[in-house]
Amino acid sequence: MQTVFSTPGGLQLGSIVSGFVADSSHGKIDFLDYTAGYWTFLFSHPKDRTPVCTTEVADIASQRHEFEALGVKVLGFSGDSVDDHMGWIAEIEQTFDVKVSFPIIADPAGKIADRYGMIHPKVSAGECVRKSIVIDPSHRVRFICEYPMEVGRNSAEILRVIRALQLSERHAVATPAAWTPGVPVIIPMAQNNQTATRRFGQNWVEVLPYLRAVYAPE
């Protein structure tokens, strides 16, 4: 049995996610309790035992230690049954020599998928799209990305986004296009020069009046 609470206005950046209780490959999960205090990566896939989805789960599983190092809980999601998930996971682990350590939620009735905007009728009548959602420890949506059915997602990009969000949280900075760790970051426009100097000393550079760069303190 599943319990779902809707999010008024739908799932958008800044939304507080709705709670649900659902069966999964790790047993019954109360989503809000399971993810409380953690960053969360929730991703939906169209169907178990399909080629693109199989490579996605294997790729995400191969990055297990990277997600763990960032304090991120990973959860997969589709409309398949728990039994389907379990058999599929065993095949993935054997074929790709990975450990699928994260739970995959089962939503055969499609109630949760509907509330989270994972089903797009113009793409598929009943299967989830490839939706990636990053949620912060306060259960606020910080990132949403959707891939078409024929294109697999990139877990390295998800990790990059999470690192950028966590860096921004710690140091009140923004990150430039294609940022990776070690690359200078941006001082937000909301911080004037005095605030920037107080926060970062003389280590920041004004590239343009509205573009100031600094190496993150860490």
Cα distance between residue 218 and residue 215, in whole Å: 8
Same domain, 112 and 192: no
Q: Can you tell me whether residue 95 is helix, strand or coil?
A: helix
Asked if pLDDT for residue 5 goes beyond 80, the answer is no
- Could you list the active site residues? 53
Count of domains for the chain: 2
pLDDT tens across 112-135, in order?
Answer: 998 898 888 788 778 899 999 999
Average confidence score pLDDT of the chain = 92
Do 27 and 104 fall within a single domain?
A: yes
- Identify the three-state secondary structure at position 195: helix
Q: Evaluate whether residue 93 is within a structural domain.
A: yes
Give dist(CA 55, CA 43) in Å, integer. Answer: 14
* Per-residue pLDDT, 31: 96
Domain span including residue 20: 3-153
Could you tell me the pLDDT band of residue 69, with boundaries at 50, 70 and 90? Answer: very high
pTM value is 0.91
Find the DSSP H helices in 14-81: 31-35, 51-62, 64-69
- The first and second tokens of residue 160, run together, are 């990059």
The confidence band for 147, taking pLDDT boundaries of 50, 70 and 90, is: very high
pLDDT at res. 6: 40
Contact 154, 130 (CB under 8 A): no
pLDDT confidence band for 1 (50 / 70 / 90): very low
What is the rounded distance in angstroms from the CA atom of residue 43 to the CA atom of residue 131? Answer: 5
10 pLDDT band, cuts 50/70/90, is low
